[in-house]
Amino acid sequence: MTRKTKSNLQVIGMYLFIGVVFVFISYPLLWTLGLSLNPGTSLYGSTMFPENWSFVHYKWLFFDPSSDYLLWYKNTLIVATITSICSVIVVSLIAYAFSRYNFIGRKNGIYTFLLLQMFPVLMAMVALYLLLNLVNMLDTLTGLILIYIGGAIPMNVFLVKGYFDTLPRELDESAKIDGAGHFRIFFTIMLPLAKPILAVVALFNFMTPFMDFILPSIILRSPENFTLALGLFNFINEQFGNNFTRFAAGAILIAIPIAAVFLYLQRYLISGLTSGATKG
């Protein structure tokens, strides 16, 4: 087999693999989109490409007085935005401290973050519930936001610290010689250079409230405080209201803010994902 033939086979194999992955990804998306355009309510009576397609479910979500969809959307956007911004601020400060300063407990702190990443969030659900109940934050968006921010710290700190470790320390030393203080070095030098990894942190933490169902289902009780995942679940969970087509319409619209944030941050994402966590 010649080198050219081998190279062509590798290219063909790569495209075949990409094609298979594309089918697996696009099939459920197309089915959900077709389901949302079906004017009926049944999951089994729907098709991927409905003949009499309609936007009736989208109209109901936005304009029907009995629909709380826009309220759930607002709640989710509030939680996602605050969580994303606060996580970036908290994580960057902690990661910078672990990367640039030597202090008592530094090594043990890093190992603690590594250890905390190994346990699923489900293990802490009872403790989180009792803690929020103790401070009167059950059934509040504030309590949910605090849990999201705290839960994002271990993994993201380790990721951002690895990125800070790749930045030359000579930058810090040169700034100190010029009279810059710790906070000025952090805000004017380190943060601009860390935009790629911070964009990754911001995107992941923005996505979480849109995708997570378990945590809101434990913390939130009032329908006016529901997030999208929790609210949409009611469409298919109620005894006499199993409206899968309406659920599909609401689920499709979840992608809009996530796609918008992704497109805004995409110039930073590739370098952030490839450069983070390269050093311990």
Whether pTM exceeds 0.85: no
What value does the mean pLDDT of the chain take? 84
- pLDDT tens, position by position, 141-192: 999 999 999 888 888 998 899 888 888 888 888 888 888 888 888 888 888 8
Which of 98, 102, 103 is closest to 114 using CA atoms? Answer: 98
Q: What is the mean pLDDT of residues 77-84?
A: 95
pLDDT in tens, 198-245: 998 999 999 999 989 989 999 998 989 999 999 888 777 764 456 788
Q: Which domains does the chain have, with CATH numbers?
A: 3-58 (no CATH), 68-275 (1.10.3720.10)
Phi, psi for 81 (deg, rounded to 5): -70, -50
